[in-house]
Structure 1
Amino acid sequence: MRTIAIGAALSGALAFTALSVPAAQADTVVGDTTVSNIVVNGGKDVVIGTTNKVTFKVTFTASDPSGIEDGESYLYKGTWSDPTAFWSDDRDEDTTCATGTKATCTTTYTIIPEYDLHYDAHAGAWRAGAYAKANDGNSAKTTNLGGFSLKRYSKLTVNASPEPVAKGKTITVSGKLTRASWDDRKYHGYTNQPVKLQFRKAGTSTYSTVKTVHTNSYGNLKATVTASTDGYWRYYFPGTSTTAVAKSTSDFVDVK
């Protein structure tokens, strides 16, 4: 599967010169072929960091009385006529369609950040479309069948001190929230973000939120709490429209 990432400086017309013929046209239907029910990554966000490649599947339904010969899917940010980024299957063997008059077609995408993502602005809402060709030569292409969120990977750290601590004394819980930058392949502090400080009492399995604190201009976190019982402290970031959810590891504090 070949993926194509397009910077905002490129026009839609230039972008589409690299795509296969079905993608270069507007929505089309020839005969009684249909495409529908597109799902990206099982309905979950696609989350990508700075170096690790990420593989996910796109499925859609293709129907025709003669059966389906092949298909293709398209993922893009912005508008179809002028996308700021575009990924597509550009070889028939990359999308497989089951046999039958109503077939599930599956495309496997493998995204390598250094080749396929060049700008932080690519994070956020994306759209998805699909094309199918029937055994009798009919076809259908719909460019806006659904959507998904492409998000930057995030990390959280935690450190609770002192350890151990006397009951009734103050614990300081520090941490840092960072997120991947596709601009420079590094992680940077995510500033002014609400992060939940959570506690799990020793011997239990459920965390509860004690308070919400905000990251500073470097992404750092600091909260103070009163020690009352043994347990585990962690930070939890609920994510944003461009950045994924993050949980720190747990830090156990022994209360004497």
Structure 2
Amino acid sequence: MRIRAKVAAVTVTATALSAALAVTALAAPAVADGQDETPTKITNIDVNHSRDSTVVVGAALKTRFLISATAYDPSGIRSVSFELEHQTNAGEVDGRIAQIGPSHCVKVDATTSKCESVMIADPNTNLYTNAVAGAWGINVVAVDGQGDVTRENYLPLARIKRQTQLSQADATPEPVKKGNAVTVKARMLVASWEQHKDVPLVGHQVLLQFRTGTTGAFKTVQKVKTDRNGWAKGTVKATVDGQYRYDFAGTSLTQARSGAADFVDVK
């Protein structure tokens, strides 16, 4: 069996590369005429059927999601497996999520298969710290019909984010006299994988939004930062009846969220 590896963004010195090639030349078996030397081609990687390959995980419960890809090889596809990997800023691996059981592969034709695997993100095991939130790389191992192995290490494609909670807005006073100030509060929480509970999301910007009546689009009327307890508090002038809510755009580490609205009657 030959192992063929293709790694994204790998840097080696010229000396190390020459040595590696020399060893490979000595160790590699002779290739028979007609032998397939083409690495298996991996395309259409899909994470969690999400447009931006995002998986949102709560404070304590396991989250099951799927990874799939299309694999092509002239000799056909025997199997494909996946692994997620998180790295520190120093490039060290500090998190792995392996697939659960074998992949399920469906033949498209004699050379191409679509393979899908079940993954589980668990704050009790592989998400042991909040520091692993963010971008994760995807490692793919494909075995073709001749038993040859291709390893593809992709740069970060998946995003695993901490789940957020945004409470319903609470506007006071109600009703309010036209032209007077109305104060709107809501609380923002985020999953802590370390504490296994939701904790205040501190110092993040949320948008206080308003719409006239109960239909139509919300428009931002004020930008507010959450305090040390996760509370957002904004004050605006009341002019017409309508609904107030808070909206959080999310970050590369945390889920976007819109809170429920509170209707204010203006007298």
Query: Above 0.5 in TM-score?
Result: yes
Secondary structure of the corresponding residue to residue 114 of structure 1: coil
2:225 matches 1:214: yes
- Residue 70 of structure 1 and its aligned partner are, at CA, apart by 1.2
If the length of structure 2 is used for normalisation, what is the TM-score?
0.79
Q: Aligned match of 1:96 in 83, 90, 104? A: 104
Alpha-carbon displacement from aligned partner over 1:25-81 (angstroms, at most 9, x marks no partner)? 9936983222233222233321111133322211112111222111101101017x8
Structure 2 CA distance for aligned equivalents of residues 50 and 211 of structure 1: 30
Match of 2:41 in 1: 34
Secondary structure of the corresponding residue to residue 36 of structure 1: strand
Alpha-carbon displacement from aligned partner over 1:85-119 (angstroms, at most 9, x marks no partner)? 00112632xx1122131222111223333233210
Alpha-carbon displacement from aligned partner over 1:136-192 (angstroms, at most 9, x marks no partner)? 212211122651211111111221111221211211101111111111112221111
Secondary structure of the corresponding residue to residue 147 of structure 2: coil
Structure 2 CA distance for aligned equivalents of residues 108 and 51 of structure 1: 19
Do the aligned partners of 1:214 and 1:221 also contact (CA within 8 Å) in 2? yes
Do the aligned partners of 1:39 and 1:146 also contact (CA within 8 Å) in 2? no
Structure 1 CA distance for aligned equivalents of residues 225 and 136 of structure 2: 28
If the length of structure 1 is used for normalisation, what is the TM-score?
0.82
Do the aligned partners of 1:160 and 1:251 also contact (CA within 8 Å) in 2? yes
2:139 matches 1:161: no
Q: Aligned match of 1:55 in 64, 84, 87? A: 64
Do the aligned partners of 1:74 and 1:143 also contact (CA within 8 Å) in 2? no
Q: Structure 2 unaligned runs (5+)?
A: 8-35
2:115 matches 1:105: yes
- Residue 255 of structure 1 and its aligned partner are, at CA, apart by 1.4
Structure 2 CA distance for aligned equivalents of residues 137 and 247 of structure 1: 50
Match of 2:255 in 1: 244
2:123 matches 1:123: no
Do the aligned partners of 1:176 and 1:221 also contact (CA within 8 Å) in 2? yes
Q: How does 1:147-158 map to 2 (within 5 A)?
A: 147-157=157-167, 158=169
Structure 2 CA distance for aligned equivalents of residues 145 and 135 of structure 1: 27
2:86 matches 1:86: no
Percent of aligned pairs sharing the same letter: 34
Q: Could you tell which deviates more after superposition, 58-67 or 26-35?
A: 26-35
Q: How does 1:1-40 map to 2 (within 5 A)?
A: 27=5, 31-32=37-38, 33-40=40-47
Secondary structure of the corresponding residue to residue 121 of structure 1: helix
Structure 2 CA distance for aligned equivalents of residues 245 and 251 of structure 1: 20
Runs (4+) of structure 1 moved beyond 4 Å?
A: none
Structure 2 CA distance for aligned equivalents of residues 253 and 220 of structure 1: 20
Structure 1 CA distance for aligned equivalents of residues 202 and 81 of structure 2: 40
Larger Rg: 2
Q: Which residue identity is paired with 1:38? A: I
Q: Which residue identity is paired with 1:84? A: D
C-alpha RMSD of matched pairs (Å): 2.2
Q: Aligned match of 1:179 in 173, 179, 190? A: 190
- Residue 227 of structure 1 and its aligned partner are, at CA, apart by 1.1
Q: Which residue identity is paired with 1:66? A: S
Structure 2 CA distance for aligned equivalents of residues 91 and 169 of structure 1: 62
Secondary structure of the corresponding residue to residue 150 of structure 1: strand
Match of 1:10 in 2: none
Do the aligned partners of 1:129 and 1:146 also contact (CA within 8 Å) in 2? no
2:237 matches 1:226: yes
Secondary structure of the corresponding residue to residue 252 of structure 2: coil
Distance 1:252 1:90, change over 3 A: closer
